[in-house]
Structure formats: C-alpha cells, structure tokens
Structure 1
C-alpha cells in the first residue's frame, strides 16, 4: 500500500514539546518563534524530517503556521482545516485562527511588545513573507531575529534523517522535450529579465528542467534539490549524490555541474561576490537566499520562477500522456465504483476498506507508481472535513442513507490524476440531492465555460459558485488547482479561485471541484481534471474563445441528481459526458463491470 492509516497526530504531544521549545528559546534570548508548515523549498509536501509544525502541535494538514510567544501560542490554518485542527491540536495551548481571515501578522501585531525578539528560520520563510513580518515587528517595537539553526530541531530528539530517494530519468516519450532544449529556453528567459542567473528552489521545477524524477516526499515524484541556471545556459545542481546512480549522474553531468547541498549557499555567495544580478522569486525563495546574495555584493532581480509557466503549459507528448493516464485510471475507478455499489449497501464497509480497495484497483493497472496524495475517504460527518485524512482511530463505517465522498488520484509515468466522487449509499434525502445538484451545476458551469484569451482563474471562479450562492451556500476552498505531468498534483501558477491571477493558457491542466460541506453531516464534491484548449471560433461570435476538455472519465452518481434543478443545457452536458465515459471506458472493462457502467451512465 502507498498509504498508511496509522494515527498521524496526537494532541497530547503539544504540552511537553511546547514547554521544551520555550525553554530553548529562553536559552537563546528569544521571546518567540515562528514554525511554518514548510521546508527550505516551500513545498506543499515535505519530508518527515521537516514536519516541524506537526511534531510541535500535532497538526497534519498541508498548510499552516504556529506562532509561539512566552505567554501564549497560536496556530493558523486555512479553510480546509478549520475542523481538522480541533481534532489534532490541543487548542488550549495553540489558539486556532483562520490563516487568511485572521493571519499571523494580525495576531503578532496584537501580542508583540516593545523590545521583544521574535525568532524565525530564514530558509523557511520567503522573502516577501519576511518583509511582512519585519513590518509588523517594527510597528510593535520588536525585533525579528534570523536564527542560524532551528530551535525546534534542537529539542526534536528523534528527528528523522533527510530522505535519500533514488533519482530516475524521465524519458523523451513522456517528457516531450529534451532537457538541453529546456535549459536553453529558460536561460534565454532569464536573460530577458536582466539577470545573470536564477536560483531555482522548487524541486518540481528542477525535475521538469532536467527531466528527472525522485522519491523524497510522499506521493510526489520529486528529488529535493536546489539549482542555479545562468543566462548563458550553464547550470549547477545541488543534490545529495547518494540519490544518483551512475547512469543518472552521467546523464546529468552532460547538462549541469553537480554538487552536494552544502555547497548551495556558498555558491550564492560566489555569485554575489562576482557582482552578479540574480533572479529570485520572492514568493518562493527563502529569505536566507536573498541575504546571502546581497551580503556578498550581488544584486537581486525579483520575479517569478521562470519555470513555473512553461512547466504548466503541457506539450503534445505530455497532453497525450495525460489522456492515456486518465483512461487507465478511469478503468480502475469504474471497477472500484462497481465493487462499491455491490458492497456498501450491506453496511459493513468502512472508510479505510474503501480507500484500500481503490488503491488495489489502481495497482492492478500495472502502471501505478504511487497515489498522488493520501486518499480522502469521508463517510458521514467526516466527509464534511474537506481535506480529511482517515486513520485507524477516526475510521467510520460508511452509513446507509448518507453520501460518501472519496477524493483520490494516481501517479503514472505519463500523467497525474485527481478525481473526487460523491456516492449515494441507500436512499438520499431531498436536501442531499438538492445540495449535490447545486454543486453539479457549478461543476458544469466550469466544464462548459468559453472565455477569451487573458481570462484568469479568478474570473471563472464565480461560475462554480453562483448556484450555491443563490441558495445562500458556499465552500471555503478554491475551485481548481493546477496539476503536473507525473509531478505535483497541486501545481502553480494556474488556479481557479478568488486569488487566481494567472491567465489560463492552452495546455494547462486544472481541477474543477466545487463542493458543499454541511458541518457534522456529510460532504459533497465533484472533481474532474480539465485541459485548457486552444482558442476556437464560436458560430456567430466575434473572437476565438478558449475552453476546457474534460480529462477525467468516471460516472457522476445519477442517484444524487435532482433533474428538475438542471437546465436543459446542463442535463445535455451530463448525458453527453456519460455517453463519452461509457464509450471510452466500457471496452476496457470485464463484462460485469461493463454492465454496471452502462446502467450508471444512462441518460438523466
């Protein structure tokens, strides 16, 4: 199994660990410290050795930060985790706050006193993030102090070792572009910014650039590493050499100089000492990176990681791989749904058994390299925790008479998948059907959208919410995130959300996942992945419009649909989508599952 179900957190750990940290801070002359859910790469998924926030507080979510002062402490989480944090954290020790609505800067501004020294690890806070912290400290008469070594590590006695996942090569029939050509292309874009070199801190950017993959973090095939690329096209890769086989090392050596991670910061100092102008992404690079360059005499050119956008725009080979991966995944998912429909009504199925079964069906494709994230298997009230992670203590039976939510995905060498389905188990109430259909209307609104070149994800986000808004309902997460090509299941810069400022471009892949979560009752989410298509003419129109091609191929549970709430156009989309699912997936199924699929995809 790629997923375990051991209890990941324990709120009781907070008290002794917080006391140990406070003692260490006092020893160092610090009045407080910030503990983000981040590593030196600012990634969403971090190795166990960098899970400082979870170690200290018990919180196991993928976004958050804790602030510790002498008399009080707080934890800040986004809307996905407002319920989860209360289960995993001792909230008498760490006051829970909404990361966006009541950010750490507001809390610090209220509680910092003149003369206080607030410590932070400058590799774990971005350049822009540190600027905001400095402003708050200055306003309070406090001092923000960069630490040379993290005090959490000093009191974390059994901290795991850094990962040593083997690095592999991504072949041309999956990557679609030679690494040398990528290096030349990105180097030219660096030169256009006026910089002499760029510091690359994102492991998935490095994996894309050099056509390599790794296994340093769970479910995301990246090698933890840093890189520097000059505008002239020379590169340095800073990676633990124990991850490289002779074949991989020899291939990389033709593209880049290879050095150990300990050489990274000295290399930045060398750039600075040479008076170079260095491109740094202030939203992704640790503050220590900028400090080293500037202190040595270099100059900063601030701008986005130049790899983010090219990586997000998939080439023809990657698009073909995505379609193949989604069809393969659809076959496994159809088998799961058929099994689920036969098993769940008996009332003896639980969340873990369902997640294990789905993973087993994916493994049986013979092509699964990993799941793309821990499966969200939410029965009844657990489904209302939108990023719930089942464990052996929280595991619930899947009840008859309530919807069941399962959000999952696979990592295949040709593509990354992510799908959510909400499934009826037994008879559904009128409210359940109404809620589901309102979410479905939003999903269809995105899937059928046509929009001009230059449209951002923020401009589309309302399409997914408007039916819910009219009913006085909403959901507290984005509508869609970017997805990589056998890389991160959460990829930027594209997203469909209120904060989605990146114009959508043909070749981008995004999720389409509106939802609704009545607390303590059940969760509803419908998620497909969408490929942004080339602008095309619309009969009678004046300009070409971009659109979406749905990649995910799986039935949407008709038993939860209230047809009277759908317009004729929405009903037509659902029926056409189901016809396509039956046509494309059916031939790859065994006879029993094909019969089930034909029934599941009948017209509404």
Structure 2
C-alpha cells in the first residue's frame, strides 16, 4: 500500500552505481546507454528483477527512462513526476522534462556525431526505436547489447514464478476456445499465419487465466504465439504450473523456447510494433520470416467487456464503495483530532477493504497525500515523506482493489477539519469537469481526444489545467491501467460499448494541495433521440460521496447541482444497506442535498 526506500533503490547509491555503469559502457564499446522503466512485456508495473531504473537512479515512478552518457545522466519524466523525481534522485542525475524534450534531440546535443547508443532489444519496441533512429538522422548509431545494468547489479532478484489460476466462463462471459477461434479467424482473414503476443494482460485475457507475478496486477508473465488454427504456444516458467486443463490446442513450454519458436514460424506473422520487444522482430528477420505489422489482436476485444464482466464489475464497485465509505467515516472522525499520518490512512483503507473478505490485492500502491504531498500527482508515501493529516488541509486518496469479479479505482479529495477557502473554487471546477464527462452523450466514432476538453473547460475558464489525461481504460480483474481507450487529447481510439474508463480531472498547486476526483464509468449505447443516430453515453460504476464542504454551490449550474444531488441519493440507496450503523449515519449526513 505504500513504498519505502531500501538500500536497493536509495538515491545515496546513485553516484557509485552510475560510475559502475559507465565502466560497463566503456567495456561494451558504447558512448551512451538507455535504461527504460519497462520490462520485456512493456508493463506499467514491473517485477523487482526489472526495477532497473529505480535501482540505478532512485526514481520509483511508473513511467520514465534514463539515458547515461560519459558525462551526463538524464532522467526523463512527464508532468506527473517532476516534483517526485527531484526528491528521489541524487544530484548526479539531471531531471529532464519529457515529452517536451525528446530523447533524439537530447542525444544529438550531448553526443558527438558517430557516437553509439546501446540498448537492450528486449526492453524497447520497434515503434520506439524507429522514432529514435529517425530523430538521430544517422548521426548516432543504435546498437543492441546485453543489458548493462544487469551486468553491474550483483543482487538482482530472481524472476517471479507466481502461480496461475483459471477463471470460469461464467466469470468472463466467453470461454478461451471461443476467444481463440474468434481471433484466429481475424488472422486468417488478414492472411496471417500467427500472431506474437507479448503483453501479459492480453495472454491472461485470451486464456482466461490470472497470475501473481506482478504486484497489484493479476497477470501471468508469459509470451505466446496464437496460430491461425486457434492453437496457442505458451511460454512461461514451468514452476507456475498453468492449470489450463487437458487442452491439446495449448502447448506449454519454458520461456527459453520462445525465441527458437519464433524462428521456426511460417509467415506472415503479426507483430505489434507498439508493444512487442525489438528482439522479436530481429529474430523473425534473421530467420527470413515475413512480418505483418499490426495491433495485438487481443487489445480491442479485451477492452469491450462482456455483460458478465460488467455485471461483476458493478458488484465489485458496490463492495468497494462500502469499504471506502467506512474509511471516510473513520477518517472524518479521527484525522481532525491529529495523529493520523498518510501511512496510517493508507493502512486503514486497505484494512477496510480486507474486511470485505473478497479483496485479493489492492489494484495499485495507494496514493495517500496530505497537504502539499497531494500536489504530487502520482505521490507514493514513504517512511521518509510520511506526513500527518493536519486540520485545515486537504487530503487526496487515490486507491483501488482487485477482486475476483472486478477492478476498482477511485479518488476522493476531502477536507481535514476546517475547509481551506483557497481550495473551494478549484475543487468546484474539478467537480464540474467530472460531471461534464459523466453526463456526456456523443455519436459513435468519437474518441477520448474529443471528450477530454469537456473535463478541462471549467478549469480553463480560470486559467487552470492539469498535466495528466482525464481518464484511462480499466480491466476486469486485470490491469487497472488498460488500453487502448483513454480520455486524453492524444487518444484517437473510438469509444465502444463495454469499455471501462476512469473519469478523473484534477488540479494541483505545488507546495499547497492537490485535488482529484475519480469515478469509473462504462460506455453504453444511449437511448435514441433526435434523428435516431447511434449515440453513446456513460454509466457510472463508482458510488462514494463527494465532499460537499469543498463545493461552492453558487458556481454550479442547476443541472450540475441536480446531478450531484441525484448521485448522492443513489449512493445512499445502493450502498447504505451494506454499511455499519456508524458509517451509515455518516453517509446520510455527507450525502445531504445542497
């Protein structure tokens, strides 16, 4: 639920480890080396053995990378992590604002023509390297090498061997055989003989299995090949003992057999250039096998949830809402008295979720930020940063749970005791943005980039904004961050019924407070209106009250006030029967109409 620095990721180790990496670079004959956050599966969360960026630099955010040259070591992070990176890395590392500064121009500035950049081909995609090569204009050569961080990491943890579990068709709404046959037809229709699958959530979805290799994400770390016959070759550590049953159409082999299997395929073979490691296409090219560059065939079907998955998710959210409300009722009593810290609050919240007897894991490390720590968008409390929740400040808590029937993700920002007046205007604007998305109705074919501005408009009117997307896709007992759908100005993926997204506008005032409100929503077909065109809208999945003490009612339009009051009435109707007497009484007061 929270991360604490250990010797493994301590920034104090940065100078020594950086010096050792530069020695390894010299031995490998490269002038620079790239250290991504990603693993071979391009996941947001990685196993301890793949925490190379954190081990080298001390930076523990879920996105970013480092480029080390002979005299400079840049740590590239986006707007979510710019406060965090400055607090975590030693001064031998230079934070770089990314994507404003891209790696190509940075390398051209810091290296001479003819220099060599080393990369681990298992940790970078074809898309990424193609863009980088184009930016380098032939002046710097990219060379695949062994991973130089691994070479100098003496106590690197072993790869995970989490056990695998199977899900039933009743839980998933579609059996694995049906999924494989459906996607095999897609391959046949495209004239492709096979598809390489490297994303653990795609493989877990396709085979209706879940794992425990990665904290918070119940995926099975594996590689797979889906053949046009609907047969699957699955490559994973045999110790995981995948309980796939007596299915002759699934071949299980150790991970070491993956690359030889690639070289034995008949083409064309589908490879997703945005997610497959560069090493995959290198192996196919060296074997003379034709590559069909196309999207992972599981991506869109996985995003469009079945009725069974949506029904399970609704129940998971009601269970989770009850735990959240028990927590908020406890917090509202305990925190104003003093003595509650960010870690105390995060532990208490996980405890209320544990009391449901259904929680399998939290869905990500809880963001528990008091006062100025709430302004760090993806803040992770540590023993060194742990702060008390003080009266007169805001507290931002972003958290979620992994349940067998669904994945939750919710953010609430609350006042601790007296309400800080400076926060009420931006809080109300963030609420207006969330309401705008919640009530949006739009034609079929509209993408997240078309809706993102609805959430920002109330903030824009005051000259304010936030440096993250408005929403991400969410899986069902899978990754809490799931593509391809997003509510973001850079997302051109058309929204389809069954897609689950977060709706989470925010505002962050560095050194003072952070505000974010987040509900999960699911895309559904809208009732016909007007000229009966196909339209879509959203169903809300999250049912937890919003702190109305922070709302300026006169700023709300009548329809916004109606939405808020109706939402709170529905929270009471849906969740009150699941609560203890004390939490129910707290909810009735918190959900009073304004």
Q: TM-score with structure 2 length normalisation? A: 0.98
Counterpart for residue 581 of structure 1: 571
Counterpart for residue 482 of structure 1: 473
- In the TM superposition, what is the alpha-carbon distance from 1:3 to its structure 2 partner? 5.0
- In the TM superposition, what is the alpha-carbon distance from 1:348 to its structure 2 partner? 1.4
Counterpart for residue 602 of structure 1: 592
Do structure 1's residue 182 and structure 2's residue 179 form an aligned pair? yes
Do structure 1's residue 408 and structure 2's residue 405 form an aligned pair? no
Equivalent residue runs for 1:529-568 within 5 Å:
529-538=520-529, 540-568=530-558
- In the TM superposition, what is the alpha-carbon distance from 1:203 to its structure 2 partner? 0.2
Residues in 1 aligned to 2:353 and 2:226: alpha-carbon distance in whole angstroms:
38
Counterpart for residue 17 of structure 1: 17
- Secondary structure of residue in 1 paired with 2:327: helix
- In the TM superposition, what is the alpha-carbon distance from 1:431 to its structure 2 partner? 2.1
Residues in 2 aligned to 1:163 and 1:491: alpha-carbon distance in whole angstroms:
22
Structure 1 unaligned segments of length 5 or more: list them.
none
Q: Deviations over 1:384-417 (max 9, x none)?
A: 0010000111000001101100000000000000
Q: TM-score with structure 1 length normalisation? A: 0.96
Residues in 1 aligned to 2:14 and 2:61: alpha-carbon distance in whole angstroms:
16
Do structure 1's residue 295 and structure 2's residue 286 form an aligned pair? yes
Structure 2 unaligned segments of length 5 or more: list them.
none
Equivalent residue runs for 1:468-547 within 5 Å:
468-538=459-529, 540-547=530-537
Residues in 1 aligned to 2:205 and 2:304: alpha-carbon distance in whole angstroms:
12
Contact 2:2 2:382 in 1 (8 A): no
Quick check: 260-269 or 169-178, which moved more? 169-178
- In the TM superposition, what is the alpha-carbon distance from 1:144 to its structure 2 partner? 0.9
- In the TM superposition, what is the alpha-carbon distance from 1:543 to its structure 2 partner? 2.1
Contact 1:74 1:93 in 2 (8 A): no
- Secondary structure of residue in 2 paired with 1:40: coil
Counterpart for residue 109 of structure 1: 108
Do structure 1's residue 250 and structure 2's residue 256 form an aligned pair? no
Counterpart for residue 134 of structure 2: 135
Q: Deviations over 1:292-349 (max 9, x none)?
A: 1011011111111110110000001000000000000011111001101110110211
Counterpart for residue 395 of structure 1: 386
Do structure 1's residue 270 and structure 2's residue 264 form an aligned pair? yes
Residues in 1 aligned to 2:383 and 2:307: alpha-carbon distance in whole angstroms:
43
Contact 1:453 1:545 in 2 (8 A): yes
Task: Report runs of 4+ in structure 1 exceeding 4 Å deviation.
Answer: 2-8
Counterpart for residue 42 of structure 1: 42
Contact 1:344 1:425 in 2 (8 A): yes
Quick check: 102-111 or 315-324, which moved more? 102-111
- Secondary structure of residue in 1 paired with 2:245: helix
Do structure 1's residue 200 and structure 2's residue 191 form an aligned pair? no
- In the TM superposition, what is the alpha-carbon distance from 1:255 to its structure 2 partner? 3.8
Distance 1:186 1:529, change over 3 A: same
Counterpart for residue 218 of structure 1: 215
Contact 2:10 2:55 in 1 (8 A): no
- In the TM superposition, what is the alpha-carbon distance from 1:535 to its structure 2 partner? 3.3
Distance 1:293 1:356, change over 3 A: same
Equivalent residue runs for 1:118-517 within 5 Å:
118-140=117-139, 142-147=140-145, 149-244=146-241, 248-251=243-246, 253-271=247-265, 274=266, 276-517=267-508
Residues in 1 aligned to 2:203 and 2:190: alpha-carbon distance in whole angstroms:
19
Q: Deviations over 1:84-115 (max 9, x none)?
A: 0001112x322211221112122112222122
- Secondary structure of residue in 1 paired with 2:195: strand
- In the TM superposition, what is the alpha-carbon distance from 1:30 to its structure 2 partner? 1.2
Do structure 1's residue 592 and structure 2's residue 594 form an aligned pair? no
Q: Deviations over 1:252-304 (max 9, x none)?
A: x4441011000001111111xx4x11101101011110011011011111111
Residues in 1 aligned to 2:80 and 2:314: alpha-carbon distance in whole angstroms:
29
- Secondary structure of residue in 1 paired with 2:106: helix
- In the TM superposition, what is the alpha-carbon distance from 1:234 to its structure 2 partner? 1.5
Contact 1:97 1:103 in 2 (8 A): no
Residues in 2 aligned to 1:113 and 1:17: alpha-carbon distance in whole angstroms:
24
- In the TM superposition, what is the alpha-carbon distance from 1:235 to its structure 2 partner? 1.2
Distance 1:192 1:396, change over 3 A: same
Q: How many residues align?
A: 593
Residues in 2 aligned to 1:311 and 1:136: alpha-carbon distance in whole angstroms:
34
Q: Deviations over 1:493-545 (max 9, x none)?
A: 0000011111000000000000000001010000000010113213x454242
Q: CA RMSD in A?
A: 1.2
Residues in 2 aligned to 1:107 and 1:286: alpha-carbon distance in whole angstroms:
23
Residues in 2 aligned to 1:427 and 1:405: alpha-carbon distance in whole angstroms:
15
Quick check: 509-518 or 299-308, which moved more? 299-308
Contact 1:112 1:137 in 2 (8 A): no
Residues in 2 aligned to 1:548 and 1:45: alpha-carbon distance in whole angstroms:
28
Contact 2:2 2:343 in 1 (8 A): no
Q: Deviations over 1:171-224 (max 9, x none)?
A: 222111110001001111122332111000000000000000000011000110
Residues in 1 aligned to 2:297 and 2:202: alpha-carbon distance in whole angstroms:
9
- In the TM superposition, what is the alpha-carbon distance from 1:558 to its structure 2 partner? 0.7
Residues in 2 aligned to 1:514 and 1:106: alpha-carbon distance in whole angstroms:
32
Residues in 1 aligned to 2:197 and 2:590: alpha-carbon distance in whole angstroms:
47
